[in-house]
Amino acid sequence: MTVIPQSCDVLVIGGGPAGSSAATHLAQAGIDVVLLERAVFPRNQVGESLIPHIWKFTDMSGVSEKIEQEGFLTKAGGITVWNDKFHQIQFSDFGYTRPGLHVERDIFDAILLNHAESCGARVFNEVAVKKIDFSDSQCPDIFYTDKRGYSNQEGAIRCQYVIDASGHSSFLASQFKTRQTISSHLNFLSLWGYFENARFVGVDRQSHASDALGSVKPVTFVMSFEEGWVWHIVLREKTSVGLIVPTERTRGMDRQQREVFYRQTCAQLPYLSKLLEPARFIEGSLQFRPDYSYYSHNVCGENYYCIGDAAAFVDPIFSHGVQNALYNAAAATLAIKESLKNKKHRLRYSQLCENRMQQFYGFSRALSLGDFGCNGVNPGLVKNLMKSLPPLELELILLASEMTNRSENFRHLAREAGVLGQFEENFSGRKREPITALEF
C-alpha cells in the first residue's frame, strides 16, 4: 500500500471532474500535487448530459482522445416540452463541430482521474478528509482517515494550497459555515433512477427503440409538469430519468415510499410514460438529493480554492455542472501556478479567481433559475460575461433561456448589457421551423 506523503505543494480533496482536472493541470506544470478521494473509482454519479463546451477544457488537459476512444453516445442537442411549448436546439446550428455527450459518469469520471494519475498526480482512494487547520496560513494541515487497510488509520498532510473539490458535501463551505441554500418560495428535491430498454428521443423529433441508437442521434429530453420538471437521458445500456419536485412533496416518505412516488409519477406523465412503456426499472437504482441548489459566499482565499459542486450547485436543467467544474479547475490552477511563482500576490490571484468563478456561477444561476441580484448573483459580473461571449455562443444561450418560463430576468440582464438587440428580430436572426408536436 503506497504511503501518503507528509507534505506536498497542493492538496486536492475529491476526484470528480473538478478535482481530477485540477490535479492534471498542476501535475503537468511540474507541481507536486496529492489528491485524496474517499470513494473507490469507478463510483456512481449523476449528471450524464454534457454540452460541447467541455471539449476546450478536455483539450487543455490532454484527455480528449481518451474520452473519444471510450465511445460514449454523442448527442445532437436538446428538446424540451415546457408548459406545453416545444423547443429544439441543435448544436450544429451554432457553429459547434464537436458533439455533446451522454456519458456514464462512473466511467467518464474514472477516465479523468486515471488521466490525472498518468500525468504525475499522486492519487489516493478510500481516504476521507476530516478537518483542515488553517492556523499556519503558509502551510495548512489536512487531517484525514485512511480507510484502505483493514483498520482506519488517522493521518495528516501539510501543503501550501488546498483545492476543495469534494462535490455536494462542500467540505470547506461546511467547515466555514458559508454554504447557503438557494432562497425561493419552494425548495426542491431531485430523484433519479435508471431504466433498461427505454425508448429515446431522436434529433428527428421522434421516439425510437434503443436498438436505433446506431442510426439516429439522440437528444437530451426535458419536460415540465405541474409540480416540477423531468430529464430523460439515454445511455449505451440504460436510461437516466430524473424528477425535480418540491421538497414538501415527499416529506415524511421513506426510501420505499419515494420509489413508489417516483415510479408512479414517471408512469403517469405524458411523453415520458410512452418512452418508458417498454422499459424495466433497474431495482435499487433510485437516488435522491434534497435542497440541491446552493452557493457559498467565499470560494477562494490565500491558501484555498473551492471548485465544482464544492463551491455551488445550480439547477441542472442546462447541463452546466461538468462544464462549471472544468472551468473552475482551469481558473483555480492558473491562480495557484501564478501564486507559487509570486507568493506576495497570492491573495490578489485568489481574489481574481473568485471574481471569475462567482461570475460563472452567477451566470448559470441567472440562466437556470432566473435569479439576479439575489442568491449570490452579481448582476454586473453576469452582464460583463454576456458582453464577452462570442455571438454564436451568446445566441445559443439566449435561445436556451427561452426554453423554460424562467427567462424574463435573464433577458432583462441581456438587454441591460446591450447584447439582446441583435437577436430580438425572430429572436435568433435565423428562422427555425416551429415544433408543434413530437411523434411518440
Q: Are residues 310 and 275 in the same domain?
A: no
Instruction: Say which residue, 108 or 318, is predicted with more confidence.
Output: 108
pTM to 2 decimal places = 0.91
User: Residue 165 and residue 149: Cα distance in Å, rounded?
Assistant: 24
- Which among 269, 290, 311 is the end of a domain? 290
* Side chain identity at residue 184, one-letter code: S
* Side chain identity at residue 350, one-letter code: S
Q: Are residues 133 and 117 in the same domain?
A: yes
Q: Are residues 209 and 116 in the same domain?
A: no
Question: Per the domain annotation, does 91 fall within a domain?
Answer: no
Question: Which stretch of 112-116, 255-259, 431-435 has the lowest confidence by average pLDDT?
Answer: 431-435
The number of distinct structural domains making up the chain is 3
Question: Per the domain annotation, does 14 fall within a domain?
Answer: yes
**Contact present, 224 and 83 (Cβ < 8 Å):** yes
Question: Per the domain annotation, does 345 fall within a domain?
Answer: yes
Sequence-distant (6+) residues with CB within 8 A of 341 are none
Q: Are residues 271 and 386 in the same domain?
A: no
CATH number of the structural domain spanning residue 235: 3.30.9.100
Rounded to an integer, the average pLDDT of 334-342 is 96
Taking alpha carbons only, the member of 35, 300, 21 closest to residue 144 is 35
Taking alpha carbons only, the member of 11, 16, 14, 18 closest to residue 357 is 18
Question: Per the domain annotation, does 363 fall within a domain?
Answer: no
CATH number of the structural domain spanning residue 119: 3.50.50.60
Question: Per the domain annotation, does 366 fall within a domain?
Answer: no
Q: Are residues 119 and 176 in the same domain?
A: yes
Q: Are residues 240 and 226 in the same domain?
A: yes
Distance of CA 244 to the CA centre of its chain: 16
* Side chain identity at residue 229, one-letter code: W
For residue 209, give its domain range: 188-290
Most confident of the following: 202-216, 280-294, 380-394, 407-421: 202-216
Most confident of the following: 93-97, 150-154, 211-215: 211-215
- pLDDT confidence of residue 431: 44
Give the helix/strand (H/E) hosting 74.
strand 73-75
Q: Are residues 124 and 224 in the same domain?
A: no
> What value does the CA radius of gyration of the chain take, rounded to a whole number of Å?
22
**Contact present, 187 and 281 (Cβ < 8 Å):** no
- pLDDT confidence of residue 372: 57
Residue 428 is placed in which grid cell? 435568433
Q: Are residues 234 and 255 in the same domain?
A: yes
Q: Are residues 195 and 268 in the same domain?
A: yes
- Which among 263, 290, 317 is the end of a domain? 290
b (16+ CB within 10 A) / e for 113-124: bbbbbebbbbbb
Assess whether pLDDT exceeds 50 at residue 144. yes
Q: Are residues 164 and 32 in the same domain?
A: yes
**Apex 110 CA angle, 105 and 113, nearest 5:** 125
Rounded to an integer, the average pLDDT of 307-335 is 87
**Cα–Cα distances in Å, from 12 out to 154, 327, 345, 348, 364?**
18, 16, 22, 21, 24
- pLDDT confidence of residue 406: 64
Q: Are residues 396 and 274 in the same domain?
A: no
- Which among 290, 308, 338 is the end of a domain? 290
Taking alpha carbons only, the member of 58, 24, 75 closest to residue 323 is 58
Q: Are residues 207 and 329 in the same domain?
A: no
Burial of 158: CB neighbours in 10 Å, binned 0-12, 13-18, 19+: middle
Q: Which ranges of 247-345 does DSSP label H, i.e. alpha helix?
A: 255-268, 272-276, 321-341
**Contact present, 268 and 230 (Cβ < 8 Å):** no
